[in-house]
Chain A
Amino acid sequence: MLMEAVEKDINAYIRKLIINKLKKVEENSFNLSELMTELI
């Protein structure tokens, strides 16, 4: 139960982090190299 809760929390955190980064990308500052460096 505890493991599942921890897994859920970690996943939610990582997903939120990535989604926020994706949302921040705009056309006039479009540079995926920077984004990928952060993701990898």
Chain B
Amino acid sequence: MFKDTAVTRNRIAIMIEKFKDVDAHAVLIETELTQVIGDANFLKESKKETYKMFVLFQNQTDGLFQRDRQSNFEKLILDFESDLSNLDLKISKALNEQFASVRSSIDKFKMLEKFKSIYKVLKDESADNFNEVLEDYTKIELHNYTMIFENHKNNPPVSDTIPYYARKIIWAKQLYNRGYAPFAYLAKNQEKLDLEKTQKNNIIESFKRFRKLF
């Protein structure tokens, strides 16, 4: 007894779960993705994809609840999952392209923060390359600024119409600010970014070494 009810309940529960995924993607495309991806065509196509995923269910309405068509329902869910991961891949690719166009650490950190809520919907933790950017900042970017400082501190590449000492101070200050901006951003947003203790220590140690130059 109640076998029909079990089928109805299970399939409704599965459909609601899948519709939540579709809805989360549709909302994501209209809000966060619109803010970070300027390609209107891509956004329009992605929105269409979400509708197509829903249509998979709509086209099968007559067999949605039939007990003897369990394999059909399972195939429908597999088709849905396949379409959903294809859309996720497209979105991840678009985000990576967007990310690759940004060069400074500070802009990368800001962009990653915007991406965070997007990655949650995509369920793609691997796409979150925060640690990579953090390492780039502490190991490469600060090191590069240090080398620039060491190589040019006696003759900074600033217009010689400015008095000698003023030129040196302006140049050093600009260089310091370029190294400091990501540090200040990380310090301000450490809780939001959920930084671990070792990450915090690495950032502080690297920045201290850089700051000593000035």
* Assembly CA distance A39 to B19 (angstroms): 11
Check B23 against A32 for contact (C-beta < 8 Å): yes
Check B8 against A15 for contact (C-beta < 8 Å): yes
Check B61 against A3 for contact (C-beta < 8 Å): no
**A7 is contacted by which of B2, B12, B15, B65 (Cβ under 8 Å)?**
B2
Q: How many whole Å from A36's CB to the nearest CB in chain B? A: 6
Check B16 against A39 for contact (C-beta < 8 Å): yes
* Assembly CA distance A20 to B51 (angstroms): 17
Q: Tell me the A1-40 residues at the B interface (CB within 8 Å).
A: 3-4, 7-8, 10-11, 14-15, 18-19, 22-23, 25, 27, 30-33, 35-36, 39-40
Which secondary structure dominates chain A's binding surface? helix
Please report the total number of B residues contacting A with Cβ < 8 Å: 24
Contacting residues, chain B, for A23 (C-beta < 8 A): 58, 61
Contacting residues, chain B, for A3 (C-beta < 8 A): 1
Check A25 against B1 for contact (C-beta < 8 Å): no
Contacts A32-B23, A36-B19, A36-B23 given: A7-B1 contact, CB under 8 Å? yes
**A15 is contacted by which of B22, B48, B65 (Cβ under 8 Å)?**
B65
Task: List 16 A–B pairs whose Cβ atoms lie within 8 Å, in order of A's numbering.
Answer: A8-B4, A10-B5, A11-B5, A15-B64, A19-B64, A23-B58, A23-B61, A25-B58, A27-B48, A27-B51, A30-B26, A30-B50, A30-B54, A32-B22, A36-B19, A40-B16
Known contacts A18-B12, A32-B22; 14 additional CB pairs below 8 A are A8-B4, A11-B4, A14-B12, A18-B64, A19-B62, A19-B64, A23-B58, A23-B61, A25-B54, A25-B58, A30-B51, A36-B20, A36-B23, A39-B12
